Chains A and B, each alone.
Chain A
């Protein structure tokens, strides 16, 4: 069975060009970039190039790029550094819809005695900047807001937010794991102090991340060790993955120049066909302020896990914000923060596309999904009574 992979916000396929760029560094180019001999030195040159490629994608300078092991490490390094360099400040601000990497970290900090403010979002998942401004005080050490939401794709006005935060002398961090490579990011044009990136969300392998730290920002390292990354992150470099990430960023830059239009076109094709063919379905999140590859659709009166397992029978991969799939008993914290009713939240499915998807794949999904929803609804005790009421109303 062919796999139709529409779960690219979870992870992505390593691009063939990226794999090709990496392979020599698993083979005969195994030198340590810190070595004095040219056998290691040639690897250092490649890492320098990769650093330039990453910097170019986000409009940074190469010395502002720190390679880490993942997005979670970047988030931890950023927030812990902000607190370590502002020891007198005890208040931190984030939003209610952050990725668990930030949510859990902030919950942990609350346990350490920090005062945490979680900013609410509106029905469409958009952040109200007035709430942000109202939450800030001289005691605030750092504000962390995601650039784009992993579940809905909704984009936060982080650049405007960073400006408001920065002018009050407070550090601003953004988890840009989902937005990097999907929408333009230019660090020259904003006031964001620190930014987290993860390789495996943009066709580089798992196990490589980046923390951008703006030049001049005080930084206290999370991993203390060798002089790697200018002493800001100890540990011998993950050379193949760094080189792979550089390549992936170069590919992403090229796609961004074209506005990521092929992915956007496929996403829109999928979304409009599903909404047209499946009654009582709707998109979660603002459709204008949104990543080009993501759509989060709720199918009312059915439960997400059943949808995923029936799609799985056709090799279709997606994910759900339902309680049953999360292992907890509550549906997605993102959808709940947006006030999505339970009838909708339990039946939410996130489709996240990539440049490798094809029109045939999208048409396959729009053909297979309507009968799946119909089948589950025919089993649901809520469907008949409510649906008839809606139709006749």
Chain B
């Protein structure tokens, strides 16, 4: 059973604004019956160009219905400029959070809102140059990129939870992985100030302590930081890791990946000569 918040339950059991606005200014339909959820959103503006009325019709699970209901409540009274700033995170937050696997319901709300506004303003319905990546659920590269940026996603599983992309035949997993790498590579320089050596060492130590040691210890292993020379992180493996044939894979795929992710993308891990 999903762990829904009381707010999700309440909006599912008593959804607000079900239906279609008459003489709507903006209308949009997103999702499809094949994917298992779909949302039709319509709104009407008042004389001050604020959203006077917003209504929905949703095919989908409880969280899809609750997200739609929340969205229509949230945007009432907003100008279109304000409504454009509503993110899927805002919808989830309004509901007191959604289970990770259900975040795509909030993304669907955000998409419907955006398309309904475009429908009113006459903007192109499809983002120029967008390419379908996930054939099963019809998700474009632009949608995936945005979900990664806005929600700081790092794995294909995350992307599936937020956009549904990759949830079907899984043929697009490599493509999604590439998009994640690209978006994160682009994002890195902007958010990461240059570290001093002392800061870098401190962050490496903290990351090892917090993120890496507990997992290794769980399997009877351990790791020790020996030195940091430029971007080379010199470590020694201990315990079960010292005799484990897979330890260099662990170092590359787990330890190095974590350090690159949380400290600096240029780090290279090296095992001290035994």
Q: Enumerate chain B residues within 8 angstroms of A378, measured Cβ to Cβ.
A: 18
Contact of B168 among A309, A322, A330, A346 (CB under 8 A): A330
Contact of A329 among B15, B18, B29, B168 (CB under 8 A): B168
Chain B CB within 8 A of A379 CB: yes
Q: Enumerate chain A residues within 8 angstroms of B164, measured Cβ to Cβ.
A: 329
Interface residue tally for chain A (C-beta within 8 Å): 25
Given contacts A379-B18, A379-B65, whether A329 and B58 have CB atoms under 8 Å apart is no
User: Chain A 363-384 against B: per-residue CB contact (8 Å), 1 yes, 0 no?
Assistant: 0000000000000001111100
Whole-angstrom distance between the alpha carbons of A343 and B34 in the complex?
Answer: 7
Q: Enumerate chain B residues within 8 angstroms of A379, measured Cβ to Cβ.
A: 15, 18, 57-59, 65
Chain B CB within 8 A of A313 CB: yes
Chain B CB within 8 A of A27 CB: no
Given contacts A328-B167, A329-B137, whether A382 and B59 have CB atoms under 8 Å apart is yes
Within 8 A of A (CB), among B14-61: 15, 18, 29, 33-40, 57-61
User: Chain B 54-75 against A: per-residue CB contact (8 Å), 1 yes, 0 no?
Assistant: 0001111111110000000000
Within 8 A of B (CB), among A134-176: none
Chain A CB within 8 A of B175 CB: no
CB <8 Å contact, B36 and A331: yes
CB <8 Å contact, B167 and A381: no
Whole-angstrom distance between the alpha carbons of A324 and B4 in the complex?
Answer: 13
CB <8 Å contact, A329 and B36: yes
Tell me how far the C-beta of B95 lies from the nearest C-beta in chain A, rounded to whole angstroms. Answer: 15
Tell me how far the C-beta of B207 lies from the nearest C-beta in chain A, rounded to whole angstroms. Answer: 31
Chain B CB within 8 A of A342 CB: yes
CB <8 Å contact, A343 and B33: yes
Whole-angstrom distance between the alpha carbons of A380 and B15 in the complex?
Answer: 12
Contact of A322 among B15, B36, B102 (CB under 8 A): B36
Contact of A303 among B29, B36, B167, B168 (CB under 8 A): B36
Tell me how far the C-beta of B45 lies from the nearest C-beta in chain A, rounded to whole angstroms. Answer: 22
Contact of B59 among A303, A327, A329, A331 (CB under 8 A): A303
Q: Is the interface of A mostly helix, strand, loop or mixed?
A: loop
Q: Enumerate chain A residues within 8 angstroms of B36, measured Cβ to Cβ.
A: 303, 322-324, 329, 331, 342, 346
Chain B CB within 8 A of A306 CB: yes
Tell me how far the C-beta of B64 lies from the nearest C-beta in chain A, rounded to whole angstroms. Answer: 8
Tell me how far the C-beta of B63 lies from the nearest C-beta in chain A, rounded to whole angstroms. Answer: 8
Tell me how far the C-beta of B6 lies from the nearest C-beta in chain A, rounded to whole angstroms. Answer: 13
Chain A CB within 8 A of B160 CB: yes
Whole-angstrom distance between the alpha carbons of A328 and B36 in the complex?
Answer: 11
Q: Enumerate chain A residues within 8 angstroms of B39, measured Cβ to Cβ.
A: 381
Whole-angstrom distance between the alpha carbons of A330 and B58 in the complex?
Answer: 18
Given contacts A328-B167, A331-B36, A382-B33, whether A305 and B57 have CB atoms under 8 Å apart is no
Among residues of B, the one whose C-beta sits closest to the C-beta of A345 is B36
Q: Enumerate chain B residues within 8 angstroms of A313, measured Cβ to Cβ.
A: 13
Whole-angstrom distance between the alpha carbons of A325 and B2 in the complex?
Answer: 8
Interface, chain B (partner A; CB < 8 A): 2, 9, 12-13, 15, 18, 29, 33-40, 57-65, 101-102, 137, 160, 164, 167-168
Interface, chain A (partner B; CB < 8 A): 301-303, 305-306, 309-310, 313, 322-325, 327-331, 342-343, 346, 378-382
Query: Which 10 A-B pairs rank lowest in CB-CB distance, beginning with the nearest?
Result: A329-B167, A324-B61, A305-B61, A381-B57, A381-B40, A323-B36, A380-B59, A342-B34, A346-B36, A309-B62
Other contacts beyond A305-B62, A382-B59: 6, CB < 8 A: A306-B65, A324-B63, A325-B61, A342-B36, A381-B29, A381-B58
